[in-house]
Structure 1
């Protein structure tokens, strides 16, 4: 119709002007006008879009200014339902007044300011906020602590997202309230993995263990501190313990004796770093681990005696690690010896929690005096009880850390009454979901003033990056001879075993050779002493000699004895 009207108009104009070309003049003018509009839109479209977005944001700001919040349709689903609601003073006071404590509710109601005076300023603390609550006279801190789940629900949070601790001020509880879902997000990788130039210093350094709940770096000093890490199975205990050892391995002065009683290769990367590495969960491996700890006691006594003679003497740190230590405490095997009339007589048990237990007593001795001469005991254990983690042993650790546990009584065994009474609650962590999260009680880590513990989310270092860190440590140490447990699939060759335990050393003290033989195979070398060692070497034309007044076994002498034996054996065979 429009085209028809334009053509009709053109006919009228053509008749009037007596010019046939005017028939299409209106239609051409209309087309040119439309083209002009298109060009105008092409020029102003970009700026128009930008201005439109700005006007839309201005409209949203106007709505927010009037309503003091975003409109409901613009909020995330969890916020629309109340979950993750921002923490304000009124929300905290309301949550406290509905805790089911009549005295608290009455006190808040009677306050002229509606309870605001109870609260300190709410401050951002990592992935959450923190506020101190000064309680009325009628309410005790333990009453609030015992209602953690109810308080978390009143704050629109899950139980694991609210932590209640006791600061230094009297009648005060400190609430740390996580942003909704923040604790389910993983933390970053360990600096040990990302920084290949990182080194360690046993005395002055701190291990980069993880992050606290504020998101700040959590660093642990291990200097002259015995260590205990406990928790349920498969929650990250070995990983947390191993990450500390990996960091400390970058200090070339530190020696390691390690017994991994799980025996699945979690500590295999320490082959070439540790002087002793025991891997396995059998009773034989537990015996090896027990005798390793007893050897550490002998080393401690040697150092103490040397310190008496020369107070200025300095020793290299020795870290004795027993992972899955509950197997050592629960071992039923007893020491046996053969009497002169050929009878087998049982003696002290290897395991147990009494003064007759060899493992228990060795650990107690290290706890009593080891730190003075830098011989330290690190233990990892599952599911603590009085049977698999005796009271005297667990209380001898300077640094006590716990992953998730089943009950509050276990939490008290792991961390002590003071820490649990102060708010430490590893039994409230979520099994499986809070892997690697530790509650730590130690003076080796920065703990907020007035608190007895701190919660640390540890960095997880997987086997492959752990092996890479171990290779860096080996490069710093120029290698080390590691004694490993060898399964007794065949009859032992004592002379070859002596050569193996000496390794690349030019000479070793006879007591050190015996110690290494014991670690190599307890069942075979349990009764060996200096006389037995001397007789073996004499049978092959050699014997221990003195060096600086100490009896030693020389590598060259043992190699010569092996060569002579092999030569004699070949000659006998040819004859």
Structure 2
């Protein structure tokens, strides 16, 4: 006889579980037809369900799970500590890094780790030889030390006896030392035994703590309310975050024992962490990008702080950069040209810092810009910083056509060649007329370039200084969707824009398109395709994102849809600024808030106007060469020495135009004639303040000698 009873598992009833129930035999009754024999299969099912219930109940027992959890913590922690000890005493870590670099095809990194492994083996051999020598010399050293100590104590005793007049005091220091050693030995004998017995417990406790921190217990044995996630996205945290994205192929691979292959282990990269992981079969980077918000949550980050992409040369590999918590939300550094400095159109303008804190130069020569995002996301701040830098080059002419009524460009009006504002037909016609003029000017500049430059078909600063007709020009079309969507002039404007952009890159004409509506209808695709620098602030959807950054960028993880309007102001996703597939930047903000009494724009415009002369001609002063000794002394400050890379970084911040592209070799070439070049200290390249100061003093002394002493 069988009854259906609910099965109690973790306090919940699960019906339809067949259990056998035995009862006494009933009294004989009237004969009845014999029932058909029950099939054997249901009986087996009863036993399997019963066994499963027993296993679940046993696992649900708190004592059992606690025992398994803590045992797994201890065993897993011991394994981790053993592996760390092995890595610290051998070249296992170097071999692992070499294999990863070799798998990634990075031969330079392989050679670096080979050199590190060789240096480690050499240092280890030297330490062992020194230990053997120390052991061999130990008896002599001990004897010498004991004799010297006894001599000192005896000398103190003689002096004490001489002072007190008691000859017995000669041995007093020696007796006191012997008593001290006796007490120390006694205390050691008392403390030693408890410490000796406690050492295994301390070791087990340390292993348990490491295992608990790394969650080495089975998932079913972990406490439900003890989710202890670390803010450092190491390999374990990344795997756990990926395993909780809800991606079916990835979950299946993990369940089947997938062993992750780290193309590049997790390392520090700027204000964040970088890693590369080869995904299992059936899992794409697009699948991970589809769960970006969940991935950021699992890593205790905001979506804007997590960037999963696929490297162009490593298909099937997840390239993940995770920023430090809050590192992309603080204030940006001041604009480097806020109070001093000039700009060279042919070298670019500092406009932002990267997500790693590096200066970002906005290229002007042979470049076109597309800047988009919703209102209040920071578009104008980036464009204003770009234009302020452009007008600091006396060669550059700037025009602005704003198909709206705003005051963003008004402070720049004194230095602009043209400023048109408004969204009526009159202003639209003015913008179209400007494009027609640019089309003709591009053709004329091409002819002049051939005459002036000969074989050189690219505009240079020298050629621009020879002929005012070849001076660089930056033209901004703000709210350009109003222009391209105009019923009468839109089609012509799109055709003119494409013609100008295709021919302008070598003639010194830069076009900047700004819009809040980057769609296929508002921005012609050919305009986007011919744009070298694309900037996407916070956008509403993937259509706007791909309209700015290019088709397919959203699926590839290069997306600004995760930027939060009103919170990530000034933060943008860019393409074309560096040699990387994309770059997250934070634009500089040159403040102009009259209601608060703040105006940083007008002083820059006034500096730019100082080169203006009568007759509407722009003076072209000779650009003063950077004084490397003075600049290095300034960035060193009070530091006696500084790492070469840090010096280069500070020089780039101080004068991006002169030093942004400098490397250690450039710095050495500049300092070597003065005898102040960098030197090695502890295997690291350093710059000495003393050397720099001596070089400056020597240069001043040579200058005085050349000028002669006025008193003679």
TM over 0.5: yes
Partner of 1:401: 535
Query: Cα gap change, 1:150/1:254 in structure 2, threshold over 3 Å: closer, same or farther?
Result: same
Would the aligned equivalents of 1:273 and 1:480 in 2 still touch at CA under 8 Å?
A: no
Q: 2:609 aligns with which of 474, 477, 500?
A: 474
What's the TM-score, normalizing by structure 2?
0.50
Would the aligned equivalents of 1:99 and 1:151 in 2 still touch at CA under 8 Å?
A: yes
| Superimposed CA distance per residue, residues 285-316 of structure 1 (whole angstroms, 9 cap, x where no aligned partner) | 22222212222222222222334555446521
Would the aligned equivalents of 2:364 and 2:510 in 1 still touch at CA under 8 Å?
A: no
Q: 1:214 aligns with which of 322, 343, 356?
A: 356
Say whether residues 1:446 and 2:575 are aligned partners.
no
Give me the whole-angstrom Cα distance separating, in 2, the residues matched to 1:438 and 1:227: 14
Q: Return 173-182 or 431-440, whichever deviates more.
A: 173-182
Cα drift, residue 214 of structure 1: 1.5
Partner of 2:384: 242
Q: 1:147 aligns with which of 269, 286, 291?
A: 291
Give me the whole-angstrom Cα distance separating, in 2, the residues matched to 1:123 and 1:418: 29
Say whether residues 1:322 and 2:467 are aligned partners.
no
| Superimposed CA distance per residue, residues 238-297 of structure 1 (whole angstroms, 9 cap, x where no aligned partner) | 211121111121111111122123332211222232211213333222222221222222
Partner of 1:564: none
Partner of 1:304: 446
Give me the whole-angstrom Cα distance separating, in 2, the residues matched to 1:288 and 1:117: 59
Cα drift, residue 406 of structure 1: 0.9
Alignment of 1:124-163 (within 5 A): 124-163=268-307
Give me the whole-angstrom Cα distance separating, in 2, the residues matched to 1:471 and 1:289: 27
User: What SS does the corresponding residue of 1:209 show, helix, strand or coil?
Assistant: strand
Partner of 1:103: 249
Would the aligned equivalents of 2:394 and 2:618 in 1 still touch at CA under 8 Å?
A: no
User: What SS does the corresponding residue of 1:435 show, helix, strand or coil?
Assistant: coil
Say whether residues 1:376 and 2:510 are aligned partners.
yes
Unaligned runs of 5+ in 2: 1-202, 214-225, 455-462, 465-469, 593-598, 620-712
Give me the whole-angstrom Cα distance separating, in 2, the residues matched to 1:298 and 1:171: 48
| Superimposed CA distance per residue, residues 99-141 of structure 1 (whole angstroms, 9 cap, x where no aligned partner) | 2233323433444xx7453463211223221111111223222
Partner of 2:342: 199
Give me the whole-angstrom Cα distance separating, in 2, the residues matched to 1:265 and 1:221: 25
Give me the whole-angstrom Cα distance separating, in 2, the residues matched to 1:81 and 1:210: 38
Give me the whole-angstrom Cα distance separating, in 2, the residues matched to 1:127 and 1:221: 25
User: What SS does the corresponding residue of 2:400 show, helix, strand or coil?
Assistant: strand
Q: Return 281-290 or 100-109, whichever deviates more.
A: 100-109
Partner of 1:458: 587
Say whether residues 1:273 and 2:415 are aligned partners.
yes
Give me the whole-angstrom Cα distance separating, in 2, the residues matched to 1:270 and 1:103: 56
Partner of 1:494: none
Say whether residues 1:181 and 2:326 are aligned partners.
yes
User: What SS does the corresponding residue of 2:543 show, helix, strand or coil?
Assistant: helix
User: What SS does the corresponding residue of 1:271 show, helix, strand or coil?
Assistant: helix
Query: Cα gap change, 1:146/1:283 in structure 2, threshold over 3 Å: closer, same or farther?
Result: same
Give me the whole-angstrom Cα distance separating, in 2, the residues matched to 1:413 and 1:504: 38
Give me the whole-angstrom Cα distance separating, in 2, the residues matched to 1:480 and 1:411: 46
Query: Cα gap change, 1:480/1:222 in structure 2, threshold over 3 Å: closer, same or farther?
Result: farther
User: What SS does the corresponding residue of 2:506 show, helix, strand or coil?
Assistant: helix
Say whether residues 1:164 and 2:308 are aligned partners.
yes
Give me the whole-angstrom Cα distance separating, in 1, the residues matched to 2:211 and 2:426: 67
| Superimposed CA distance per residue, residues 429-480 of structure 1 (whole angstroms, 9 cap, x where no aligned partner) | 11111111111111xx2243xxx21111111112221221111111134488
Partner of 1:366: 500
What's the TM-score, normalizing by structure 1?
0.61
Query: Cα gap change, 1:145/1:181 in structure 2, threshold over 3 Å: closer, same or farther?
Result: same
Give me the whole-angstrom Cα distance separating, in 1, the residues matched to 2:210 and 2:478: 55
Over the residues paired in the alignment, what is the CA RMSD in angstroms? 3.0
Partner of 2:557: 423
Give me the whole-angstrom Cα distance separating, in 2, the residues matched to 1:281 and 1:70: 64
Cα drift, residue 331 of structure 1: 3.0
| Superimposed CA distance per residue, residues 186-227 of structure 1 (whole angstroms, 9 cap, x where no aligned partner) | 22221122xx33211111x23212121122222222211111
Alignment of 1:45-64 (within 5 A): none
Query: Cα gap change, 1:85/1:169 in structure 2, threshold over 3 Å: closer, same or farther?
Result: same
Partner of 1:519: none
Alignment of 1:8-157 (within 5 A): 67=209, 85-111=231-257, 115=259, 117-118=261-262, 120-157=264-301
Alignment of 1:333-344 (within 5 A): none
Cα drift, residue 65 of structure 1: 11
Query: Cα gap change, 1:157/1:189 in structure 2, threshold over 3 Å: closer, same or farther?
Result: same
Would the aligned equivalents of 1:447 and 1:454 in 2 still touch at CA under 8 Å?
A: no
Cα drift, residue 70 of structure 1: 13
User: What SS does the corresponding residue of 2:344 show, helix, strand or coil?
Assistant: coil
Would the aligned equivalents of 2:376 and 2:565 in 1 still touch at CA under 8 Å?
A: no
Q: 2:335 aligns with which of 180, 190, 209?
A: 190
Q: Return 462-471 or 152-161, whichever deviates more.
A: 152-161
Greater RCO (CA < 8 Å, at least 6 residues apart): 1
Would the aligned equivalents of 1:275 and 1:480 in 2 still touch at CA under 8 Å?
A: no
Query: Cα gap change, 1:108/1:277 in structure 2, threshold over 3 Å: closer, same or farther?
Result: same
| Superimposed CA distance per residue, residues 315-336 of structure 1 (whole angstroms, 9 cap, x where no aligned partner) | 211111111111212334xxxx
User: What SS does the corresponding residue of 2:322 show, helix, strand or coil?
Assistant: strand
Structure holding more helix per residue: 2
User: What SS does the corresponding residue of 1:182 show, helix, strand or coil?
Assistant: coil
Query: Cα gap change, 1:327/1:480 in structure 2, threshold over 3 Å: closer, same or farther?
Result: farther
Query: Cα gap change, 1:321/1:69 in structure 2, threshold over 3 Å: closer, same or farther?
Result: farther
Would the aligned equivalents of 2:285 and 2:556 in 1 still touch at CA under 8 Å?
A: no
User: What SS does the corresponding residue of 2:264 show, helix, strand or coil?
Assistant: coil
Query: Cα gap change, 1:206/1:81 in structure 2, threshold over 3 Å: closer, same or farther?
Result: farther
User: What SS does the corresponding residue of 1:456 show, helix, strand or coil?
Assistant: strand
